[in-house]
A and B are shown apart, each in its own frame.
Chain A
Amino acid sequence: MSELRKLEEQVILSLRELYHKYGYSQFKMSKFEPYALYLQNKEFLVSEGVITFTDTDGTLMALKPDVTLSIVKNYRNDSASLQKVCYNENVYRIAGPGKGYREIMQTGLECLGDIGLYELGEVLLLAAKSLQCISPKFFLNISHLGILESLLREMELGEDAMQAVLQCLQEKNEASLRDFCRGAPSERVDLLAALMMENSCISQAVALLPPSQGRDELQTLAALLEQAGLAEHVRLDFSIIGDRNYYNGIVFRGYMEGIPTEVLSGGQYDRLLMRLGKRAKGVGFAVYLDQLELLENRQRSYDTDTVLLYSDDADILALSAAAKQLAESGVLVAKRIPPRMTCRRVMRFQDGRVTEIEHHG
C-alpha cells in the first residue's frame, strides 16, 4: 500500500511521528477565524489576501491564511510554562509565482512559553530534520534579526533608507545596497554586504559576525546542528528578513533541490506574542507540502493494471471472486474498456473462467 501513498502523505505521517517524538502534541483547529485577527496582524502573514465571508451572526470571518496566529491567540498566560504543539492544516492565501489564491497543505510546529537556547536549538534541529525527511538534498538558511538590527542601527539610516536596504538584502542586490548605505561607515557596509552574499556552512560563517549575544547564540546552535550531523546543510543567510514588528532573533527558510520556492519558513516571534498580550516567547516553523509533488518522479505507466471484462449473463458471485484474486495489483471490472483508459492487460471473464485477451508492455 505504501507505494500508492503520495509523497505528501508519506511526509505528513513521518513528520507527525518526528514531532511526537520530541513531545509536540497535535493541535486541531477550525478552518475559520474572525477576520479581525488577521487584519490586526496583517504584516505577520506571508502574503496579503485573505478569503472572507460573513458568519450567521454577522461576524466577518476568514478562511485561515495562517496557523501560527491561531495557536498564539489560544495560548493562555496561566498555562504550563511551555506549550509544544504541532499541526497539519490547510491554509488559504495568495501564494506562488502565479499570485492567485491557493489551498496549501501546511504542517509544522510551534513552541510557546519560557523559551531558552535549548528550545531554539530543538526547533531548528526539527526544521532541519523535517527537510531531511523529505529529501537528502536540502538547505536550511538562517539569519538573526537581532544581529541585523544592531548592524543597521550602527549605520544610522533613516526609515526610508532602512526599508530600501532591507529590500536590497532580500534581493541580494549588493550594488543598490551600497548605494542606499552611502555615508555609513564603510566597514559596516562591507560586513553587511559580505553577510548578505555569504553562503558557507553555518559553523564557519558565524566567525564573520561581530561579537554579540546573537553571535554566541548562533555559535551554540551551529554546534548543536554539528552534533546532529546536519551542520553542512545549514547556512548563514542574511537575505532572510522577517517582519521586524513580529520576529526577533533567528529566522530561517528551507530549500529543497527540485523545488523552485522555499518549502519551510520559520523563526522566533516574541514580538508577536507581546503584541497579542501574551507573557511568553515563541518559535516555530511551517513546512509547505503543496510543492512536494514536483519531487515525485514516479510516472505511472497505466491508469490501472488490469481491466476485467464481463458480460450481462456473468455469474456475479464467481465474477466477484475472480476480481478479488486480481485485486492485488489493481483491477477495474467493467463491461467494456472505458474510453481513453490505459491498462497493462485486459482479461475476460466468461463461463466462470478468466482469460487474458490483451497484454501491453
Chain B
Amino acid sequence: MSLLTRKSTDLLHWIDYRLPIIQAFKTHMSEYYAPKNLNFWYFFGVLAMLAFANQLLSGIWLTMFYTPTIESAFASIEYIMRDVESGWIIRYMHEVGASFFFIAVYLHIYRGFLYGSYKKPRELVWLIGMFIYLLMMAEGFFGYVLPFGNMSFWGAKVIMNIIGVIPVIGEDLQIWVQGDFFISGATLSRFFAFHVALVPIILIAGIYLHVIALHQVGSNNPEGIDIKAHKDENGIPLDGIPFHPYYTVHDLIPVVLFILAFFVTIFYFPDGGGFFIEPPNYIPANNLSTPDHITPVWYFTPFYAMLRAVTITFLGMDAKFWGLIVITGAILVLFFLPWLDRSPVKSLRYKGRVSKAFLMIWTFCFIGLGVLGIKPADWAPEWVSPTFTIIYFAYFLLMPFYTRWETCKTVPERITANGQRSR
C-alpha cells in the first residue's frame, strides 16, 4: 500500500469514527438494493435532483446580480444578460432549468401513477413528494414574478386576486401576503426572500426526507413485485442489485442525455418557444397595459384551465371562489391517491382494463387542460374544459370502486430473467 492510500484510508476512518460516512454510503448507495428491472421511467427522480441542484447553483449566482426593486428588477436582468460575464448562460440555466425541473418531476410523478409507487408501504414517500410538488409550484410562481416583466406582474395580480376571493379573510390575507394593497415593491422584495430562502430551505429538507423514506422501504419496480419477499441467506433481495455501481453508471446515460437536451434548449431555444419566457415578459411591468391574454407558465396551465372552467355563481359565492376550490381540490386529491387506489396489485401491467382505459383518458384530459390553459378562454367550445375537469376528478374519486371491482392479473413472485416483463 502506498503512503498516499494509507493516509487517505486513515483519514476516512478518522472521519468515520466521528461521522458515520461509510455506513451512510453503504445504506444509500453500495448496499441499497434496487430491483434489477427498473426501466426508463425510473430515470426522472435522479434527473429531477440534478435539475434541482442546477437551480440552487445558478440561483445563487443570479442573486449576486439581481436587484429586487420595482425600479431596477427588470433592468438588472438585462444587466445580467449583457454586462455580467457569462451572466446570460447562468440566467438561461436557471430559466430553462425551472422548466426542465418540472418536466422531470411531472414524468417522475406519472411513473408513480403507472406502477402504483404510492401504494403501501410507500405512502409517506408519495406524501412527501406531493409536498415537494406543492413547494415547487410556490417556488415557480415567486420566481416568475422576480424579473418583473409585464407577464410577471399580471400573473402575480391574477394569483393574488384569487387569494382575495376567499370569504371573510380573503382580502386581508391578500394584503398580508402582498405586503401592500397592490403588487408593489414590498411584494417583490418579499417574493424574492421566499424564492431564495424560505422555499428552497424547505425544499431541500423535503427532498432529503423523500429519499430517506424511499430508502427505508425500497424502490418499487415496473412489475410492482415486492423484491424483499425473497431474500438470500444474507438478507439481500434476490431480485435486487446494489444501487452503486449498477444504477449509478446506468443513470449516467440519461443524465448525459438530459444535459444534452438542456443545452440544446439553452443554446438554440432559450425562450422555449415562448413557453418558458412568454413574450410579454420582454417589456417591463405596466399596470396600464394588460397582455392580450394572461397565461401562466406551462407547468401551471392545467390548473389555470380548471380555474377558468368554473363560470357559475353558486350559493352566493363568486365563480372565482369555486374555481379556487376546484384547483385546491385538484391538488389535494393527489395526496389521497394511496388510499383511493384499492387495487390488490401495484403496477398498471397487472391492473384491469378499467384502470388502463381511465388512466389513458385522464392523461388526455390533463394534457388537454394544459393546452386549454395556454390558449385564450374562447379558443375551445365552452363545454371542453369543464368536462376535462370533471374527468380529472372522476378518475380519482371513482378509483376506490373500479380498482376493487375490476379483475387483475396475478403478479409473479419473482422478477423473471434479465429483468424483462413476464408474459
The answer to whether A and B assemble together is no
A residues sitting closer than 8 Å to B (CB atoms) are none
- Which B residues are closer than 8 A to A by beta carbons? none
